[in-house]
Every structure is written in structure tokens, then in C-alpha cells.
Amino acid sequence: MKKTDSAAVQPVMKKHMGIKAANRISNTILYVILILMSIIWLIPFVCIVVQSFRVYPTGMSRYLFSHPDISFRWGFDNYINLWKSNFPKWYLNTFIIALFVAVVQTVIVLCMSYTLSRFRFKLRAPMMKFMLILGMFPGMLTMIILYQVLKDLGLALENAVPGLMLVYVASSGMGYYVSKGFFDTIPKSLDEAARVDGATRAQVLFKIILPLAKPIVIYTILTAFMAPWGDFVFAKYIVGVNPSAYNVAVGLQDWLSTSANVSENYTKFCAGGVVVAIPVTILFICLQRYYVEGVTGGAVKG
């Protein structure tokens, strides 16, 4: 009896060990691939950061793996040069645009999402379909006509900053999908309970829905801030050659627009890149925990 037992157990054990070993091998392969991918992904960032601290003799800046004969020293010169240039102006332009867009777009998107999630009106479904179809046209299609319109309004070229704000904010209502989807998951009975408790629709939104929708509010703010912060194509087209109205992306690109400029400005450009990344990085670090934090537990019977 005992013999048959152990005989039966042995192949199972072997099989078990086999699975373990196979798991280990596949995990190792996966990790190697992932680490390699991470290195490839990180190289440009490392290059920019490292290069931003290298100071070359005038006109001699090169890429990360530069000629060994060209000597350099480490220092903050690039950053100091940055602030002596037009860069602070560009930075301010971008910051004003992005902040304005982040605030206005977030308000519009959240109101829109709440309305579409909670109210039922005749044109609701046709409107959502219409916006879905409209959203399928690439925004670039509108670029030429937008330029003309803004120029006529006096909001292009040297006045591009308010013009860009207008452009970025204009269609923000159409970005309601993600937050509407989130609002839909918040039970309607919470709204109803609050309304019976004496809240107005606005109080329901601000006191009940938004605190529960923190992750999606943060997401909306971040995306609303990021788009104008890093935009190049639209800004470049609308601003033309008016350095006072550049945003950082256009300004930094301008430094590298000719090959002669590249040698001159490359390290300064890298320093600019690092400075541009700072606020976004801080924003992400501060707000990322809300992405994962679930707050709706215990609201209603699951």
C-alpha cells in the first residue's frame, strides 16, 4: 500500500519541480528583456541630464559620447546661461498657458462629464455621438483655418499666448469620456441621498462626487496641464517667428534650428529640457498616489 503511494507521489513531485524551474527560467528571460528595455528608454534622459552639467569651450559642445580630445568640466554654467537668455520668458509663457488650460479645461471637462453622466435630456445621446465622430478628425486638420481665425482676431504671432490658451481650451468639453466613465461608476443613490439631505446639484458635485472622483480629477488636471506644456506643432505654427511669444518647446527648438546653433546651444538646450521636466515631475510625484487609491469602498452594498 505504502509502496504504491510513494510511487504515485514521485512523478507529481518531479512535475512540480519542473514547473518551478520553468517559472524561474521564464522569469529570468522576462527580467532581462525588461531591464534592457528600461536602459534603452532611459538613455536619452540620462544623456540630457549629464550633458546639461557639462561645460565645453565655446562652440565645442557635442553629444554624450563626444570626442575624447575635447575637454569639458562639470558646472552649472548652462543653467546660468539659460536664465540670461529668452528662456525665462518662454518658460513663463508656457506656464501661464498650461496653468490656465489646466484650470479651465478641468472645470469644463468635469462639468461636462457630470452632466452627461447624471442628467437625462433629449439631445444627450445625439450629442455624445456627434462628439465621438468629431473627435475622430485629427486636430491638425484645423490648424490652417485656426491660424487664419486667430490672425483675424489678433491672437496669433506676437499675441500667440492668449491665442494658444483659446485653442487648447476650445474643444476641451470633448475630452469627457474618461471622467464620465468614472462618474458612471459612482452610485446614483449617493446623489439622490445628498439631494434629499438638502444639497443642490452643485453641492452634490463638489461635496460628494468630486471628493470620490479624486483620481480622475487629478488625471484630468495632469493631462490638461501636460498637453500645452509640451506642445510644439500648434505653437510653432501660430507663433511664427516672434521670440517673445514662444513657448519652451518652440524656443528650445529654435536654439537648435541650424547646425551652427547646435554646437553653440546644445548643452544649454539640455539644461532647458531638464528645467522643463521639473514641474511635471513634481506634479506626478505628488499626485501619483491618487491614481491607485480607491476611495469608493463601503458606499453602497457591493
Contact footprint for another protein (CB under 8 A): 120, 187, 189-190, 192-200, 203, 207-208, 211-212, 295-301
For 102, residues 6+ apart whose C-beta sits below 8 A from its C-beta are 221, 224, 225
Q: How far is the CB of 197 from another protein (least distance, A)?
A: 4
For 279, residues 6+ apart whose C-beta sits below 8 A from its C-beta are 95, 229
Instruction: Please identify, using beta-carbon distances, which residue of 83 and 206 lies nearer to another protein.
Output: 206
Q: How far is the CB of 119 from another protein (least distance, A)?
A: 12
Instruction: Please identify, using beta-carbon distances, which residue of 101 and 204 lies nearer to another protein.
Output: 204
Q: Give the chain's length.
A: 302
Instruction: Please identify, using beta-carbon distances, which residue of 208 and 245 lies nearer to another protein.
Output: 208
For 163, residues 6+ apart whose C-beta sits below 8 A from its C-beta are 150, 153, 155, 156, 238
Amino acid identity for residue 130 in this structure: F
Q: How far is the CB of 218 from another protein (least distance, A)?
A: 15
Question: How far does the chain reach from its first CA to its final CA, in angstroms?
Answer: 51
Instruction: Please identify, using beta-carbon distances, which residue of 63 and 206 lies nearer to another protein.
Output: 206
55: helix, strand or coil: strand
Q: How far is the CB of 198 from another protein (least distance, A)?
A: 4
Instruction: Please identify, using beta-carbon distances, which residue of 112 and 208 lies nearer to another protein.
Output: 208
For 283, residues 6+ apart whose C-beta sits below 8 A from its C-beta are 222, 225
Q: How far is the CB of 205 from another protein (least distance, A)?
A: 13
Q: How far is the CB of 128 from another protein (least distance, A)?
A: 16
Instruction: Please identify, using beta-carbon distances, which residue of 199 and 262 lies nearer to another protein.
Output: 199
List the helix and strand counts (H, then E) for the chain. Answer: 14, 2
Each residue of 252-261: b (16+ CB within 10 Å) or e? bebbeeeeee
- Report the 10 Å Cβ neighbour count for 165: 19
Instruction: Please identify, using beta-carbon distances, which residue of 191 and 231 lies nearer to another protein.
Output: 191
Is the Cβ–Cβ distance between 58 and 273 less than 8 Å? Answer: no
Is the Cβ–Cβ distance between 272 and 248 less than 8 Å? Answer: yes
